Structure 1
Amino acid sequence: MGTDGYGSGTGVWGRRPGGRQAVVAEIIRRLRSYTVDAGQVGHAFAAAHSLHTTDLQALIVVMDAEQAGTPITSGELGAQLNLTSSSVTALVDRLERGGHLRRDRDASDRRKVRLRYAAAGAALAREFFAPLGRRTDVVMAEFSDAELDTIRRFLAAMQASTRAHRDEVRAAAHDRPG
């Protein structure tokens, strides 16, 4: 692991790096800052609609799965959010009552129930996040298709790296006695 605690060796906690190290350090700093800012926007949405932080995380997971064409089950949602079965049931019940989610039987296996974003919940999210979407579109327009592809590959690799670390941390916590 590097001197900044993130494996880059950039030394952002003490010395001032130069060249590539400076760029890497700035990218890491901006990713952290973006995460905090995006989290605050998410918290504002959650507060405006009387949602818990976990509710918002669940909605994002459900939305992403649905957009990828692979709607998620309650069990899969629980695994992604590291929640117990009873916690997921309470979460999904709460989101369904609030009009944010709906449960649909899987067309190929009627025993499975898939979670989908409900129309009312999607409308609330669209209304709240539309201004951010417009700002995002403006930023994206500043980059060429090739640059966007590089950014996409970078973010996908960062996400995979972070998820791998998350899974290792979860496993270590699970293996600890007591």
Structure 2
Amino acid sequence: MILVKNFVVFIPALVGFTLGIVIDYLFVSKFIKNAYKLRLIWPASIVIFYSFCMFGFFMGVPVFNFLLGIPIGFYSARREVLLEIGQDQAKNELTKASLFGSILMFITCLISASIALNDPYTASGIKGMLSLPFTINQTWLTILVIIGGIILTIGEYFLITITSKITKKRVF
């Protein structure tokens, strides 16, 4: 109330906050408990949606899409534990999740590479952004894109696997 000069604003804000908590308790908590029982197409669709959003938000730079491996690994671990999946099947599920994330990262890198390599101003943009004292030619840009894409794709596989294993050890 100290920060609000008009008390009329405080009451609707408090009502909205309270309704949000009640709705969360009644509906969202039940959904979250059952979210791990969903067919895998739904969480995969959510990850693909967020991948598009991150790709657009960061203007085609796929480095930030790499971070989507963390929720994929977390979801995979929680699903395994909550559904009491056996060890052999859990290993298979984790491999599928890691491959899914890696394939999504590979596709993201391909799209990003096609944009970067077809834009005549990419090299000068990188030079200006990083204040490089030298000029980047098309060959170096191509090498950078290929090596970066390989590192991100392979790294995504390991990020998902490591996140899942850490989640199982620390959380459960």
Which protein has the bigger strand share? 1
TM-score (norm 2): 0.32
Larger radius of gyration: 2
TM-score (norm 1): 0.31
